[in-house]
Amino acid sequence: NQRSLQNFISKTFQKRKMAHTRISMYLPPNINPAQADIAYGCWALPKLNKELQSEDLQTRQKALMALCDLMHDPEYVYEAVDIGCLESLTALLKDSDTLVRIKTTEVLCIMANHNVGRTSFLEHDIILALSFLLNDPYSACRENLHQVYKQLAQLPEGARGIINSGLIPSLVWKLPREEEDIQELILDTLAPCLQEDATEALASRAVPFLKQKLLSDNANIRSKAARVLTAISIPLEGKNQVKQHDVIPILVHLLKDQEPEVQANAAGALMNAAVTTEGKYTALDADAIEPLLMLLHSPVTKVRLNATKALTMLAEAPEGRKRLQTQVGTFRVLELDNNVTVRRAAQIAIKVIEWKP
Amino acid sequence: MATYTYTSRPRALPCQRRRYRDSLLQPEEEPVRYGNIMYDRRVIRGNTYALQTGLLPGQPDPVELQRKQQAKKKALAKKRAQEQLKPRTPEPVEGRKHVDVQTELYLEEIADRVIEVDMECQTDAFLDRPPTPLFIPARTNKDVATEILEGELFDFDLEVKPMLEVLVGKTIEQSLLEVMEEEELANLQASQCAYEEMRNVELAEVQRLEEQKRRHEEEKERRKRQQWEIVHKQNETSQKIAACAFAQRYLADLLPSVFSSLRDSGYFYDPIKRDIELGFLPWLMNEVEKTIDYSLVGRTVLDMLIREVVEKRLNSYERKEGSPPSKWEEELEIPERKRDSTINYLTQEPSTLQAQKRLSDTEYLRAPSIDRGPPTQERKPVEEEFQGPDDDAEMRRSLDTEDPTGASEL
């Protein structure tokens, strides 16, 4: 009985579909009119490459959108580089249409996420081609551009490539004039580049700009600016400039900041700047010991590490040593820390504090 | 096959009937209605060998037209004639009028004004051509029903399980992959950060150690240099002291020796002596010279006198005897001086006497060629006078030296 009832229900509520000669009113589900059709298998990329070089604007745009989707796969990236997509993309960078440029930079950005892409960028001189777009009026374009540079800079050869192509002065110059997101990207690019070679940046007056950025409202920008300062104060010239421009008091002030990243990077910058004698005395004058001691109790490893190192630097000076001799207990506690590096740093600090001439 | 040329190409003629209003937009694909040739009046049907030419169905035949008109006239005339013959009601009496009266059951209003009611009739407005309706062909199939009881065809749950497994599995796998990728990237990033920290820390450590070493080195250098300077100074000082002592000692007896040598060389003079030498003695000599000059002059005069006398005597003798007076001249040459000096007296003619301003000794020496006696006597007192100044070895020496020279000149 129940079964018959069920049958009845199923029959009445089932729609009867008849055969239609017409395909449904709806378009097939996979068509995206904004994208070019991706050919099957190994023909996908050559076809897209050809479409990239076509004269028609719409074809180019559609091909770029399809390429964006494909480039997430590293195998496709490798193949694209192999068949020479990069040359067509380089040519498209100078295109007059905005969407084309934005999409091209996006494709390059996605390609830069893979190592294959990065190394091929270095071979094909993409850095130079991209540098023409630094003054592009559209921020999306510039944002992607700086993303590419940031990814590229994480590779040591990439960083060197960026330095060799003379981009550092223009990047430093752009720093105060861009929007905040792009500023973060630029700072992220500059940090590894300056770790390689900081002379050009020092020559283009990077330190005053960075000093400005240290006082910004955005915590990310502050921490990244402090990171760049850490890198820039590795060579001696950098340390001198840092001291010259009175950055050290600001760094000491940043030690009391809320964000652990900011604290860590500020301590790192202080650590590098306090290597020279003048730097040490400037830091001592700016009363750096108190905040650094407070940072030693921070939960973040990087903060503790950098604070320990900075205190080690300051302990080289006799005044610093005198003040820190009372705090040796804190360092003993740090010696039992989890992190190997922190332990070692604490040992070195104790050794320096207890050194007798 | 010859190609045809047409004045008008054969074409299918469209039907002129328009069923719908012409839409403003030209409809593209409206099918052109072609008239069916079978029902076209223009197409000639039937046998063509007995055609009526010239007459189209639209156009009226002129003969026919005339006949029709005549027929019409005739009919009209006939009708008029018949009208005349028709019986009619008589005319009304004077003062009366015939009125039509309705006698039916229902009265009808009669008015000479015809009730006019406007009625309109309009064909339906031209509609837009509706879209082509779906062509749904008439059902030609037969409906056949089959009853499928539940569970007969397939068990949905069972069947769907592998498919679902595949679907869900693939999705989860893909998402797992993506999550793992992200995790890997995050791990890489974290390890990169940690590495960067370590690198920074190590770098700072290296720099600190370098700095420390440099400072220590500098300090050492400075101390060494200080020490070296001290030692150097000490050396110098000791050397200076030694040199000073030695110099003092060396020069201690320098002073007396200097004084003695100076004294020896006559730089220290007794002023009185000098005065005597400078003042007194020249004056003395001058006086002596003068005295000697006087005596010389006297002698010369005497000599001249004697000479004159002798010459006169000689001349007188010569005149007398004329014998050369050689003995007298020899006697003149013989006399020698008493002194042992190696003086050679030259015979000097008294006429060549010259008053020389040298020491009077020279003239004095010349004089004895003529007069031997007095010079020797006179020399002695001069010599004695010279012995007055004692210790004047130099003067003595000078006199001695000048004597031979003066004498040698003679």
- The domain ranges of chain B are 271-316
Q: Model confidence over B57-92: pLDDT tens digits?
A: 666 678 888 999 999 999 999 999 998 888 887 888
Domain's final residue, options A153, A186, A210: A153
pLDDT digits (tens, 9 = 90+) for A64-74: 888 888 888 88
Whether the CB-CB separation of B329 and B321 falls below 8 Å is answered with no
| Residue A335, in any domain of the structure | no
Q: Are residues A127 and A173 in the same domain?
A: no
- A10–B150 C-beta distance less than 8 A: yes
Indicate the DSSP class of residue B112.
S
Handedness of CA B339, B344, B349, B355 (dihedral sign): negative
DSSP, res B228: H
| Full residue range of the structural domain in which residue A119 is found | 44-153
Mention every residue, 6+ apart, whose C-beta is less than 8 A from residue A354: A325, A328
pLDDT in tens, A74-131: 888 898 988 988 888 888 888 888 888 898 998 898 888 888 888 898 888 888 888 8
CATH number for the domain that contains residue A74: 1.25.10.10
- Domains contained in chain A, number: 2
**Helix/strand/coil for B96:** coil
Nearest neighbour of B201 by CB, restricted to A154, A275, A309? A309
Give 3-state DSSP helix, strand, coil % of chain B, rounded to 5.
Answer: 60, 0, 40
The alpha carbon torsion through A42, A48, A53, A54 (nearest 10 deg) reads 120
Residue owning tokens 């000098």 = B274
In a shared domain, residues A192 and A138: no
Q: Are residues A123 and A271 in the same domain?
A: no
Please classify residue A235 by burial: count the beta carbons closer than 10 Å to its beta carbon, then call 0-12 exposed, 13-18 middle and 19+ buried.
middle
pLDDT in tens, B244-268: 999 998 888 888 888 888 888 877 7
The pLDDT tens digits of the residues spanning A9-64 come to: 666 555 555 555 556 666 666 667 778 877 877 888 898 888 888 888 888 888 88
Residues A201, A232: contact at Cβ < 8 Å?
Answer: yes
Q: How many Å apart are CA A193 and CA A150, to the nearest integer?
A: 10
The minimum CA-CA distance between A18 and chain B, rounded to whole Å, is 10
pLDDT score at B166: 92
Is ipTM strictly over 0.90? Answer: no
Identify the pLDDT of residue B368.
47
From chain A, pick out residues whose CB is under 8 angstroms from the CB of B149. 3, 7
- Identify residue A24 by its one-letter amino acid code: S
pLDDT value of position B158? 83
Single-letter amino acid, residue B221: E
**Tokens coding A103:** 């999409």
- Contact between B51 and B44 under an 8 Å Cβ cutoff? The reply is yes
Determine the residue type at A292.
L
Q: How far is A20 from chain B (nearest CA, A)?
A: 9
Tell me what pLDDT residue B53 has: 62
Q: Are A246 and A100 contained in the same domain?
A: no
CA-based nearest distance B201→chain A, Å: 7
Query: How remote is the C-alpha of A10 from its chain's centroid?
Result: 60
Which residues of chain A make contact with B151, given a CB cutoff of 8 A?
A: none
Report whether pLDDT(A270) > 80. yes
* Residue A179 shares a structural domain with residue A88: no
Residues A316/B211, Cβ–Cβ less than 8 Å: yes
The Cα–Cα gap between B383 and B403 comes to: 12
According to the model, what pLDDT value does residue B382 have? 47
Q: For residues B47 and A238, give the distance between their C-alpha atoms in angstroms, rounded to a whole number.
A: 116
Shared domain for A131 and A259, answered yes or no, is no
- Answer yes or no: do A288 and A211 share one domain: yes
Measured in whole angstroms, the distance separating CA A280 from the mean position of its chain's CA atoms is: 31
**Is A32 within the bounds of a domain?**
no
d(CA B326, CA B121): 217
Rounded to an integer, what distance in angstroms lies between the CA atom of residue B100 and that of residue A299? 127
Q: Read out DSSP for B231-256?
A: HHHHHHHHHHHHHHHHHHHHHHTHHH
> End-to-end distance of chain B based on CA atoms, in angstroms?
179
Q: Which residues of A touch B (CB under 8 A)?
A: 3, 6-7, 10, 21-22, 154, 230, 234, 268, 271-272, 275-277, 301-302, 305-306, 309, 312-313, 316, 341, 345, 348
- Smallest Cβ–Cβ distance between A313 and the set B192, B200, B208 belongs to B208
Instruction: Provide the greatest CA pair distance for chain B.
Output: 266
A174 and A291 co-located in one domain:
yes
User: What local confidence, expressed as pLDDT, does residue B242 receive?
Assistant: 95
Residues in chain A: 357
Answer whether residue A36 is part of any domain. no
User: How many Cβ atoms sit within 10 Å of the Cβ of residue A37?
Assistant: 15
A268, A230 Cβ separation under 8 angstroms = yes
Q: Tell me which residues of chain B have a pLDDT lower than 70.
A: 1-2, 16-31, 51-60, 322-410
Residue A270 domain flag: yes
- Cβ-based contacts of B193 with chain A (< 8 Å): 302
Long-range pairs for B397-400 at CB < 8 Å and ≥24 separation?
B399/B361
**Residue A264 CB-half CA count within 13 A:** 22
Q: Are A193 and A267 in the same domain?
A: yes
Contact B204 A272 (CB under 8 A): yes
The answer, as to whether pTM is greater than 0.95, is: no
Are A193 and A305 found together in one domain? yes
d(CA B395, CA B375): 21
Question: What local confidence, expressed as pLDDT, does residue B73 receive?
Answer: 94
From A153, A182, A199, the end of a domain falls on A153
Taking contacts as CB-CB distances below 8 angstroms, the residues of chain A near B135 are 21
Closest Cα partner for A224 from A175, A263, A167, A184?
A184
Question: Could you tell me which residue, B18 or A184, shows the higher pLDDT?
Answer: A184
Residue A341 in any domain: the answer is no
Q: What is the pLDDT of residue B229?
A: 96
Q: Are residues A186 and A250 in the same domain?
A: yes
Candidate from A301, A316, A341 with C-beta closest to B208: A316
Tokens 């110059």 belong to A173
Our CA-based measurement puts residue A136 at a distance from the nearest CA of chain B, in whole angstroms, of 30
- Render pLDDT for A191-250 as a digit per residue (tens, 0 to 9): 888 888 888 888 888 888 888 888 888 888 888 888 888 888 888 888 888 888 888 888
Q: Would A356 be classed as within a structural domain?
A: no
- Give percent of chain A with pLDDT exceeding 70: 91
Angle between helices A74-83 and A115-123 (to 10 degrees): 20
Nearest CA in chain A to B213: A316
Rounded to the nearest integer, the mean pLDDT of chain B is 75
Same domain, A143 and A220: no
Amino acid code (one letter) for B228: W
